[in-house]
Structure 1
Amino acid sequence: MSIALRPVKKPELMRALPTVLKDETMLVRKQKVIEGMERWGLDVLILYADVEHSGNFEYLTGFIPRFEEALLILHRTGRVCMILGNENLDKCRRSRIDAEPLLFSGFSLPNQPDDSADALDGLLRKAGLAPDESVGVVGWKLMEKKGQKGECEFDIPYYIMMAVKSVMNGRGSLVNAAGLFLDPDCGVRITADADEIAHYEYGASLASNCVQDAMDALAVGRSEIETANAMRTDGQRNSVVTVCAFGERFVKGNLYPSGKKLSLGDPVSITVGMKGGLSSRSGYAVYEEGQIPVPAYIESLAMPYFNAQKIWLETLRIGLTGGQLYDAVESALPRSEFRWYLNPGHFTADEEWTSSPVYAGSRIRFKSGNMIQLDIIPKKPGFGGAGAEDGLVMADETLRRQLRKEYPKLWQRMQIRRDYIREELGIQIGEELLPLSNTLAYHTPLFLNREMAFTAAN
């Protein structure tokens, strides 16, 4: 098997339509969480949310609190209360699950009217929190350190924890329960059903299309802003900061597309994340290899990187452990030489990164319904980046049959993507791997050359 850079037909940039989650799906989600509470021995869950950390809250409610903060209190009996700020209080009646609204203006923007009937601890009591109960607090981090679970460490704002502890009055128990949602082995959010896959595929495919829109718009003399304006985002909210960067990045701390114009030979990074997945590309703005300002980039970095992607895709399967996938990447792209630091693969959902089973020694096995990003980030001194990140979902025969029956258009798009990867790129992707992105494994390191991409050939 060898890797080649050759003329390749571009993947079809198919456009999906948003799929709203069914009411039945939302009820199943709530029931899964309650069953998780029973396993954890919890009487009450307190979920914290703000705009950056809202995935667990949105999993149950269908909305995020935007520029405010919010709490959701879920009892094992099924009772739900939401403590919301001024501008989100009316959203409670729009929630996908029934809930009782309670106003706390302290969650609102500064200097807004304060019509709260109680202080936060009083509202928590109204929401049913009481001493002597077993309470789980859910922020957004597992708080693990070197494999040790941080069940007594909390990542939500201090003033909220103080109110919770005031109500508990030193009785009962208080644990970090983020793992109930996000644990990479048994969290309720790390597997998706057919309805959820259809819901998330829209954002994943849209993100890949946006990146290719920008790639197609690249031209010497065109600015980052002009290039980024080519992205057809459908007005959707991004899950990460959009990247469209030429040359040296983060000049004066800037994270966003600027007026900087593209020069021949510039390193380029383009990234778009949406609900359901992220797509990213890194390479050089050149037409041919000889225009890359550093020698041997293709042979020393880009080609080994694509080979590692190929091995990742051909190794991944249901039942494989995260440690085995890690070892496959380590063998193909040694960390000591290519200096990748983050996990070479992680789960995704509403947010770009939920958790990851891919680390040295991991015994966590991949399951049907896992949505995972192919995310390897190599670095070599003196070289610009090499990157082609996209996402997929793993599906056993039962889930594949359900997708084929209930979402035939989605199924057709996934099969077109699979056929492209196998036939055009030469990667023998397993039948249980279903691409959510239109551009999975499509890697064009010469960004101004619209024809050349890496392939695997016998």
Structure 2
Amino acid sequence: WKPFGAGDAGFGRRTLDLPSFIADTLRALAGDRGAVENAADLLINPADGLRAINEADQLAAFEFAATFSSQGLRNVLQGIEPGMTELQAARLMGINGLPQCCHPMLSAGKRAPYGLPSPRLDIIQRGDPITMAYGIQGSLNARAGFLVESAAELPERISDYIEKLVAPYFSAAVDWYETIGIGVAGGALWKAVHQRIGDPFFGVSLNPGHLIHIDEWMHSPVFSGSAIELKSGMALQVDIIPATGSAYFTTNIEDGIALADEPLREEIAARYPDAWRRIEARRAFMGDVLGIRLKPEVLPFSNIPAFLPPFWLSRNTAMAVAGR
């Protein structure tokens, strides 16, 4: 369920997304003297909903979820080969019955631009565009690129894939990661992304970042002009999706982070030392290898944090910030 906001023209607090037989019954019980109102904001308001702020135990559960799902994508990036079926490639994710927050996604070739299809028996060909996502309750991770070793294998008309799409996209993701923090307004994150890739070519129309919980998209404080300040305890997902609608296809980083002030960080480190060691290793990787400077309160939960390989057959080759 979702609440309705000021931008949802024609909808107000009495607009319900309940099945009609429930809504009608409640209205009959309330009668003329009462009102049946949409109270979803009590739980999922992006500023102060009860589910928007998490305790250490909940964040530790989300870190486990993100570790598992992101490692699944890492396994695909390391093991995918031309000639596999989509289902064979998806098996590398290690899906094992943990409760999912969305259907598994992996598609190549003609279906890949749709973004959302589940894997089937189609053969993955060298040169195909390819996209994948895997989410279990508390996490979702996604990546997209081409099944080639270098730009030399791309069609000539998109041989500048890196320069035209991937590099500016990665710069926007870097700005997202370096901007986010406690007290930062959601509108500042939106602006950081759109200053880099606001051109219509990139087709970024969804919220570039949102709250995540056991559901993949709980709500989002990230939109144009948002004054909602991010708080300690929030779990968020970088979710910047270019939809070029062209031969350039797309590129994609979707990973989860949490914001934690010093007391919360100390609690997580003391009570969940294994999770804390993983978080520290990811922060070091992002800073030392990728050149992304995180604020102390930003805790990456993904095992491939901001790791963006444009060419999936060039193992361990990914975008990084030059000169850092």
Q: Does 1:159 align with 2:21?
A: yes
Q: Does 1:176 align with 2:29?
A: no
- 1:277 aligned counterpart, secondary structure: coil
8 Å contact from structure 1 (residues 241, 272) kept in 2: yes
The alignment's C-alpha RMSD in Å is: 1.8
What is residue 334 of structure 1 aligned with on the other side?
Answer: 198
1:383 pairs with one of 235, 240, 248 = 248
Shift of 1:147: 6.5
What is residue 201 of structure 1 aligned with on the other side?
Answer: 63
Q: Which amino acid aligns with 2:298?
A: L
Aligned counterparts, 1:178-327, within 5 A: 178-249=40-111, 255-293=117-155, 294-327=158-191
- Structure 1 residue runs without a partner (length 5+): 1-139
1:435 pairs with one of 291, 297, 300 = 300
Shift of 1:156: 0.9
- 2:130 aligned counterpart, secondary structure: strand
Q: Does 1:392 align with 2:257?
A: yes
Aligned counterparts, 1:3-82, within 5 A: none
The whole-number CA distance in structure 2 between the counterparts of 1:226 and 1:182 is 37
The whole-number CA distance in structure 1 between the counterparts of 2:261 and 2:115 is 45
Aligned counterparts, 1:129-144, within 5 A: 140-144=1-5
From the superposition, tell whether residues 185 and 335 of structure 1 become closer, same or farther in structure 2 (CA, over 3 Å). farther
- 1:216 aligned counterpart, secondary structure: helix
> Please, what TM-score do these two structures have when normalized by structure 1?
0.67
- Structure 2 residue runs without a partner (length 5+): none
Q: Which amino acid aligns with 1:450?
A: R
- 2:321 aligned counterpart, secondary structure: strand
- 1:456 aligned counterpart, secondary structure: coil
8 Å contact from structure 2 (residues 291, 321) kept in 1: yes
Shift of 1:401: 1.2
Shift of 1:255: 2.7
Shift of 1:421: 0.6
Shift of 1:282: 0.4
Percentage of pairs with the same residue: 34
The whole-number CA distance in structure 2 between the counterparts of 1:250 and 1:383 is 12
From the superposition, tell whether residues 280 and 252 of structure 1 become closer, same or farther in structure 2 (CA, over 3 Å). closer
Shift of 1:328: 1.0
The structure with higher relative contact order (CA 8 Å, sep 6+) is: 2
The number of equivalent residue pairs is 319
Deviations 1:240-291 (A, max 9, x none): 1111101111799993211111111100001001111110000000011111
The whole-number CA distance in structure 1 between the counterparts of 2:165 and 2:117 is 25
From the superposition, tell whether residues 254 and 307 of structure 1 become closer, same or farther in structure 2 (CA, over 3 Å). closer
- 1:455 aligned counterpart, secondary structure: coil
8 Å contact from structure 1 (residues 142, 150) kept in 2: no
Q: Which has the larger radius of gyration?
A: 1
The whole-number CA distance in structure 2 between the counterparts of 1:250 and 1:384 is 8
- 1:375 aligned counterpart, secondary structure: strand
Shift of 1:229: 1.3
1:359 pairs with one of 223, 240, 246 = 223
Structure with more of its chain in strand, by fraction: 1
From the superposition, tell whether residues 407 and 282 of structure 1 become closer, same or farther in structure 2 (CA, over 3 Å). same
> Please, what TM-score do these two structures have when normalized by structure 2?
0.94
The whole-number CA distance in structure 2 between the counterparts of 1:337 and 1:253 is 17
From the superposition, tell whether residues 250 and 426 of structure 1 become closer, same or farther in structure 2 (CA, over 3 Å). closer
Q: Which amino acid aligns with 1:351?
A: D
The whole-number CA distance in structure 1 between the counterparts of 2:115 and 2:37 is 37
From the superposition, tell whether residues 253 and 384 of structure 1 become closer, same or farther in structure 2 (CA, over 3 Å). closer
